Amino acid sequence: MSTLRALRRRIRSVQNTQQITKAMEMVAASKLRRAQSKALSARPYAVKISEMLGNLAGAASELDHPLFKAREVKNVALVLVTSDRGLCGAYNANLLRGAEHRLRAAPPAGSRPVVTSLVLVGKKGRDYFRRRRYPVLAAHTPLPTEASLEFARTLTQDLIARFLSGEVDRVEIMFTRFISALNRKVVVDPFLPVGAGAAESAPTSSIFEPDAESIFAELLPRYATAKLFAALADALASEHSARMIAMALRARTPAS
């Protein structure tokens, strides 16, 4: 039986929740703006370094750096970028579902089985896969609150070391690409060997100092770092936009 007192209490509780979700929406919106501008200001460098890589690949014929060479794939590392915190709608659920789908995908008939192991970034991914029996190579938490170059460098070095030692033959990144405040998409990008995705351009008559090979060797890890940094920046912007929308929906739905 609902007395007037109970009813009043209920009204206050609903109002409180609405206030909190409204506040969280506004916080997410302002974090989104920052994350978005961060993702945007990383773009000129990423575009230029990819252009330079294309130039070099076109200019020098015998560039056989180990980071550049595709080899027979037996072991794949899938880097999964999730968030540390929840209350962001289906943001993490989409990533976890995508990753599980990929882990379970049967290899095409006749081909050798490929083992896919996870490199987990973010607490949600780590917690989810800790309770399941998929191979996990490493977990990187906590996620920096803003896209951090330091974090991208460390992670890139770790992945490059695993690739060069032969532990894995291919590395892919699964993350949420930021399209707009209302739109984002889970994607899988090739990461190592470097070069999958970099367009080879027509040879230029540039002077290389000291020579194309050594510049190439310096460029590859930086290219990888820039790519990972861009993925992290996108993931963070996506997380904030997902949270903003989840909170906006919650604040506007009449509490049952």
Partner 1 sequence: MASEFKLSVLTPERTVFEGSVEYVQVPGSQGYLGVLAHHAALVTALAAGDLTLRHAGGREERMRVSGGFFEVSANRATVLADEISEGTASR
Q: Helix or strand or coil: residue 91?
A: helix
User: What strands lie across the sheet with 170-180, from one edge to the other?
Assistant: 136-140, 115-121, 75-81, 170-180, 183-192
Q: Binding to partner 1 by residue 149, rule CB under 8 A?
A: yes
Measured from the CB of residue 91, what is the shortest distance to partner 1 in angstroms?
24
Q: Which is nearer to partner 1, 235 or 244 (CB)?
A: 235
CA 197, chain centre distance (Å): 16
Q: Binding to partner 1 by residue 116, rule CB under 8 A?
A: no
Q: Which is nearer to partner 1, 79 or 247 (CB)?
A: 79
CA 180, chain centre distance (Å): 16
Q: Which is nearer to partner 1, 160 or 245 (CB)?
A: 160
Position among 57, 174, 229, 235 found at the interface with partner 1 (CB under 8 A)? 229
Measured from the CB of residue 44, what is the shortest distance to partner 1 in angstroms?
5
Find the binding residues for partner 1 in span 14-73 (CB under 8 A): 38, 41-42, 44-46, 48-49, 52, 55-56
Tell me if 196 sits within 8 A of 190, measured CB to CB.
yes
Tell me if 118 sits within 8 A of 129, measured CB to CB.
yes
Measured from the CB of residue 143, what is the shortest distance to partner 1 in angstroms?
17
Q: Binding to partner 1 by residue 134, rule CB under 8 A?
A: no
Q: Which is nearer to partner 1, 16 or 206 (CB)?
A: 206
Instruction: Tell me the pairing of strands 170-180 and 75-81.
Output: parallel
> Could you tell me which of 229, 208, 167 has the C-alpha nearest to residue 35?
229
Q: Helix or strand or coil: residue 30?
A: helix
Measured from the CB of residue 171, what is the shortest distance to partner 1 in angstroms?
19
Position among 226, 231, 235, 247 found at the interface with partner 1 (CB under 8 A)? 226
CA 51 vs CA 151, 153, 171, 214: distances in Å: 24, 21, 22, 17
Residues catalogued as catalytic: 88
Measured from the CB of residue 204, what is the shortest distance to partner 1 in angstroms?
6
Instruction: Tell me the pairing of strands 115-121 and 75-81.
Output: parallel
Could you give the CA distance from residue 224 to residue 160 in angstroms, rounded to a whole number? 9
| Number of residues binding to partner 1, judged by CB under 8 A | 29
Find the binding residues for partner 1 in span 165-224 (CB under 8 A): 204-210, 212, 214-215, 218-219, 222
Could you give the CA distance from residue 241 to residue 130 in angstroms, rounded to a whole number? 27
Instruction: Tell me the pairing of strands 170-180 and 183-192.
Output: antiparallel
Position among 21, 116, 225, 238 found at the interface with partner 1 (CB under 8 A)? 225
Measured from the CB of residue 68, what is the shortest distance to partner 1 in angstroms?
17
- Binding-site ranges for partner 1 (CB under 8 A): 38, 41-42, 44-46, 48-49, 52, 55-56, 149, 152, 204-210, 212, 214-215, 218-219, 222, 225-226, 229
